[in-house]
Structure 1
Amino acid sequence: MATDTGSRPCCSSHTSEDNNTNGVTIAPNGNHEGFTAVQTRQNPHPHVSRNPYGHNAGVTDFLSNVSRFKIIESTLREGEQFANAFFDTEKKIEIAKALDDFGVDYIELTSPCASEQSRKDCEAICKLGLKAKVLPLSFLRQYGFTSVETGVDGVDVVIGTSSYLREHSHGKDMTYIKNTAIEVINFVKSKGIEVRFSSEDSFRSDLVDLLSIYSAVDQVGVNRVGIADTVGCASPRQVYELVRVLRGVVKCDIEIHLHNDTGCAIANAYCALEGGATHIDTSVLGIGERNGITPLGGLMARMIAADRDYVLSKYKLEKIKDIEDLVAEAVQVNIPFNNPITGFCAFTHKAGIHAKAILNNPSTYEIINPADFGMTRYVHFASRLTGWNAIKSRAQQLNLDMTDAQYKECTAKIKALADIRPIAVDDADSIIRAYHRNIKLGENKPLLELTEEQTAEFAAKEKELAENGVEVSA
């Protein structure tokens, strides 16, 4: 059972026969067997309540950028490093246009030095006239020099600064890194475009080395400095503290790139903003090297819970599902069932207590309004966990009126069947209809066609539930 998600129409949700009978729901969330999408205006979702413990608690943190951040979308750079990824030029253009329409501030591309096709793709995307700025990734020196020739709006310069990478990757010392970074930054700036310098493996780099090089590039006018948790080792507290320290050293913007190896990418991104970061790197579905980086959709979920008005003013959130479907198909993966916002179960409520509260006021068990993302809310009533309020709501959708006592008795019968075997919406609806018919006609016909063994088991279960006083009041 799906309920309307707010003041706006519920996007493309429907069932068979004008929502009054059984059917498989087709909605942005996917097909929900055992659920029925029915439009109703009975439970609008009020604005999300402020978190009394969050940054809106009444004391404003002047360094926090939770309400003024920008997104550098890296699906076409970091995402190309995902194991399954292969984007031809046509697909890259389609993804770039979709991200631009969504409202991302920057689109990061694979270095044009990676291959001849990468260079051609970079040039093609630069000619699209997107609102978002286009930035290729470049590894210092010749890569930075070559990138500016493709028509980009800026260059993202990066080099490893940890002892691991200096010893086992490029073999350069910090003096070389600093001098070369300044050389490339001055060159890129001379072309009238913006430039970012980022360390790689920042959280395993020496802090003095980091602050020294960040200070040096800030003094020559770099637009942004970047912090990269390249191996996903950082905790939210570590991210906050490093960003906070860096904020006191540089005047320029601060970008952060966070891998998800330990599952902290979204939390780390949020803490980075609280510490003073201004730009967050994302990719659609979080795809990237290994298990990827901060996912665009997941970050939007986190940020809309923090500042709904700001997020709604900047981004077309209803586009998230289409973008994720586009990328998921391109890299041949399924969207996880528990994916923030777009997962199959993201806005599904099953327990009776939850269902009752959701039907009264969705804010009771939802911090995010699914309507903001063009998604649909579902209340599951065909299970042993259902409560009589959910059954009452479903019966009313079927135009079947009963007393509260009768709804409760009907609920007990549905729970009894669900204790015997899994039940679908058809089973629950059949019980509701048959029970209502028996009441109106004064009959006592079987509620379902069951085998003799099932009938005996069903009767025994009804008796057991009655004797044990099973709660159906939720």
Structure 2
Amino acid sequence: MNRVFLYDTTLRDGTQREDISLSVDDKLVIAKRLADFGFHYIEGGWPGSNPKDAEFFARAAKLDLGQARLAAFGRTRQKNKPCEQDGNLQALLEAATPVVTLVGKSSDYHVKVVLSATPEENLAMIRDSVAYLKSKGREVMFDAEHFFDGFIANKDYALATLRAAAESGADWLVLCETNGGKLPWEVEEIVREVKRQISTPLGAHCHNDSGCGVANSLAAVRGGCTQVQGTINGYGERVGNANLTTVIPNLQLKMGKLAVTPAQLRELTALAHFVAEMVNLKHYNHAPYIGHSAFAHKGGIHVAAMLKAADTYQHIDPALVGNEMRSVVSELSGRGNIQFSAQALGITLNNEDAQRVLNHIKHLEHEGFTFEAAEASMELMLHRLRPGYTQPFELIDYVVITERRQSRGLLSEATAKVKVGDEVKFMAAEGNGPVNALAGALRSALAAAYPVLKAVRLIDYKVRILDSANGTSAQVRVLITFQGGGHVWTTVGASSNIIDASWHALSESLEYALVKLADTPALTD
């Protein structure tokens, strides 16, 4: 297998996404996780641009990054200023990283318009900066900014910038598709031309403005690049950078390139979710390879085929990237979806039982329920089919009152009557809303019999109006999400009464908790 080196720039280019801001501590934690995954290069930031990045490099010197090499990012020297007096280059040296990545202009248009320099001055800036950093013992990468646009406009000058860097000792020449507007065949053709003329190892840095960031990175490797730069989950300025969580498995599983070990590749899904949590963004469920829905199957004929052979509707074994196959149950499902979901729980259903469950689900979905976003409700339905399964409690009735009192403002009170075994529990609770009060009353009624419920908490509550044309009598769907014991689950209720829909979803969430957490020692002791 031909080796491809991975260069992650999540901590620099990724943070240029408009809704991402990382603390120094966040960046240090992510850097360590990237190193553990197996990245060859980790770009930590631009030490000459802000105090946060300068602090990061000072603290990162104490990190054990294993085989990963930390890179500091900066630009070539300023026009008419020697390297020794250039503040940016001095900050790069002070960062004390083994690798320095220098961005420089490779388009004569940008040289004239942005730098207000002559083409010859820009070449001198590249030569001097690379040679200076090489004399200080650094591995130097030259990021040829706007290279593909520059190559098309003035091929000779774009190549001259690469030669200036290479002749001054650059270890890598990184061809940047900065505006993200090129198409894969253009990228591959240009990289091949560069490869024919220049022997220095080539890298690719692609943006995703035309939706081709991943494809252009793969095309660059086909053309001769042996380094790929990008970010986790494709984070980056504008619409983002090449998404490494898609690039890496495509390189390794589709193109036969060696990027990471198979064991490291199996950590890819976990890495993607980890970084999403660190940047405080919802993970994209439909991302290739590592999304929650990447190997989820809904169509009945798909699942029926996959019960016979999993590769009939999957392009890889999801375990290779640390993901898993799922069956989504809905009104579009067949018996196979139900049987597949039951098998995952250790339940064997014959065709007759599976059809009965499927018919019930289709009836409920017609009433407004949905089980795609409420897998716990679906799983609970299957658990109830287990021989000997007894529901842990029975709902008898409830009362909810909401008042606005001059002395106390808005107040909600709820009472819940629940049968647990042979005993009837009757509890009341107050809350800041009717559903909150109802949840408190129900949990109080069950707490003595099921102390495990003390460790669960409601983390999300969603209401959707299903037929808004009916006004206040419209059917509503409620999704309730709970968390506990390292698990997160969602249940669903539907009714023309929002309290009744909430009661259904709430009671199912607590019943599911008792099933899911029953054998969790830390919660039952």
Aligned equivalent of 1:242: 190
1-side partners of 2:379 and 2:269: how far apart? Answer: 30
Find the residue that maps to 2:175 and give its secondary structure: strand
2-side partners of 1:274 and 1:365: how far apart? Answer: 27
Aligned equivalent of 2:116: 171
1-side partners of 2:242 and 2:263: how far apart? Answer: 17
- How far does residue 144 in structure 1 lie from its aligned partner after superposition? 3.1
- How far does residue 399 in structure 1 lie from its aligned partner after superposition? 4.4
**1:122-157: CA deviation from partner (whole Å, max 9, x where unpaired):** 232133242211111111122234412321112111
Aligned 8 A contact 1:260 1:293 in 2:
yes
Q: TM-score, normalised by structure 2?
A: 0.64
Residue 182, structure 1, aligned to residue 117, structure 2 = no
Aligned 8 A contact 1:199 1:226 in 2:
yes
Higher RCO structure (Cα 8 Å, ≥6 apart): 1
Structure 1 window deviating more from structure 2 (287-296 vs 164-173): it is 164-173
Find the residue that maps to 1:198 and give its secondary structure: strand
Find the residue that maps to 2:22 and give its secondary structure: coil
Residue 360, structure 1, aligned to residue 296, structure 2 = no
Residue 274, structure 1, aligned to residue 222, structure 2 = yes
Distance 1:315 1:160, change over 3 A: farther
Superposition pairs for residues 253-292 of structure 1, below 5 Å? 253-292=201-240
**1:72-131: CA deviation from partner (whole Å, max 9, x where unpaired):** 110111122121232222111101100000000001122211123322212321332422
Q: Which amino acid aligns with 1:185?
A: V
Distance 1:431 1:248, change over 3 A: closer
- How far does residue 325 in structure 1 lie from its aligned partner after superposition? 3.3
Query: Could you tell me which of 111, 118, 121 is aligned with 2:56?
Result: 121
Number of residues of Structure 1 aligned to a counterpart in Structure 2 = 371
Q: Which amino acid aligns with 2:127?
A: I
Q: Which amino acid aligns with 2:319?
A: A
Residue 208, structure 1, aligned to residue 153, structure 2 = no
Q: Which amino acid aligns with 1:152?
A: T
Query: Could you tell me which of 40, 48, 70 is aligned with 1:105?
Result: 40
Structure 2: unaligned runs, 5 residues or longer: 78-85, 389-493, 496-525
Aligned 8 A contact 2:106 2:144 in 1:
yes
Find the residue that maps to 2:54 and give its secondary structure: helix
Find the residue that maps to 2:332 and give its secondary structure: coil
Aligned 8 A contact 2:305 2:312 in 1:
yes
Structure 1 window deviating more from structure 2 (116-125 vs 249-258): it is 116-125
Q: Which amino acid aligns with 1:241?
A: E
Query: Could you tell me which of 59, 69, 74 is aligned with 1:138?
Result: 74
Q: Which amino acid aligns with 1:88?
A: S
Distance 1:395 1:198, change over 3 A: closer
Aligned 8 A contact 2:108 2:119 in 1:
no
Q: Which amino acid aligns with 1:337?
A: N
Aligned 8 A contact 2:270 2:322 in 1:
no
Distance 1:308 1:429, change over 3 A: farther
2-side partners of 1:419 and 1:128: how far apart? Answer: 53
Superposition pairs for residues 3-402 of structure 1, below 5 Å? 67-130=2-65, 131-141=67-77, 142=86, 143-205=88-150, 206-307=154-255, 310-311=258-259, 313=261, 316-380=264-328, 382-394=329-341, 399=347, 402=350
Aligned equivalent of 2:359: 413
Distance 1:433 1:79, change over 3 A: closer
Q: Which amino acid aligns with 1:104?
A: F
Aligned equivalent of 1:6: none
1-side partners of 2:131 and 2:221: how far apart? Answer: 28
1-side partners of 2:262 and 2:190: how far apart? Answer: 28
Find the residue that maps to 1:316 and give its secondary structure: helix
2-side partners of 1:119 and 1:432: how far apart? Answer: 55
**1:143-180: CA deviation from partner (whole Å, max 9, x where unpaired):** 23441232111211112233552233222222111112
Q: Which of 1 and 2 has greater Rg?
A: 2
Distance 1:357 1:304, change over 3 A: farther
1-side partners of 2:24 and 2:192: how far apart? Answer: 40
- How far does residue 337 in structure 1 lie from its aligned partner after superposition? 2.0
2-side partners of 1:354 and 1:99: how far apart? Answer: 36
Aligned 8 A contact 2:209 2:239 in 1:
yes
- How far does residue 414 in structure 1 lie from its aligned partner after superposition? 4.8
Q: TM-score, normalised by structure 1?
A: 0.71
Structure 1 window deviating more from structure 2 (267-276 vs 178-187): it is 178-187
2-side partners of 1:262 and 1:300: how far apart? Answer: 20
Find the residue that maps to 1:128 and give its secondary structure: coil
1-side partners of 2:281 and 2:246: how far apart? Answer: 17
- How far does residue 367 in structure 1 lie from its aligned partner after superposition? 1.6
Distance 1:301 1:191, change over 3 A: same
Overall identity of the aligned pairs, in %:
25
Structure 1 window deviating more from structure 2 (344-353 vs 263-272): it is 344-353
Find the residue that maps to 2:156 and give its secondary structure: helix
Structure 1: unaligned runs, 5 residues or longer: 1-65, 438-449, 452-474
- How far does residue 390 in structure 1 lie from its aligned partner after superposition? 3.2
Q: Which amino acid aligns with 1:109?
A: G
- How far does residue 204 in structure 1 lie from its aligned partner after superposition? 1.8
Aligned 8 A contact 1:201 1:229 in 2:
yes
2-side partners of 1:379 and 1:352: how far apart? Answer: 9
2-side partners of 1:315 and 1:267: how far apart? Answer: 25
RMSD: 3.0
Aligned 8 A contact 2:4 2:258 in 1:
no
2-side partners of 1:73 and 1:376: how far apart? Answer: 25
- How far does residue 67 in structure 1 lie from its aligned partner after superposition? 3.6
Find the residue that maps to 2:7 and give its secondary structure: strand
1-side partners of 2:111 and 2:339: how far apart? Answer: 66
Aligned 8 A contact 1:140 1:157 in 2:
yes
Q: Which amino acid aligns with 1:68?
A: R
Aligned 8 A contact 1:266 1:302 in 2:
no
**1:295-317: CA deviation from partner (whole Å, max 9, x where unpaired):** 22121232243156835527713
Aligned 8 A contact 2:3 2:257 in 1:
no
Aligned 8 A contact 1:145 1:187 in 2:
no
2-side partners of 1:199 and 1:433: how far apart? Answer: 62
Structure 1 window deviating more from structure 2 (238-247 vs 77-86): it is 77-86
Find the residue that maps to 1:345 and give its secondary structure: coil
Superposition pairs for residues 426-437 of structure 1, below 5 Å? 426=377
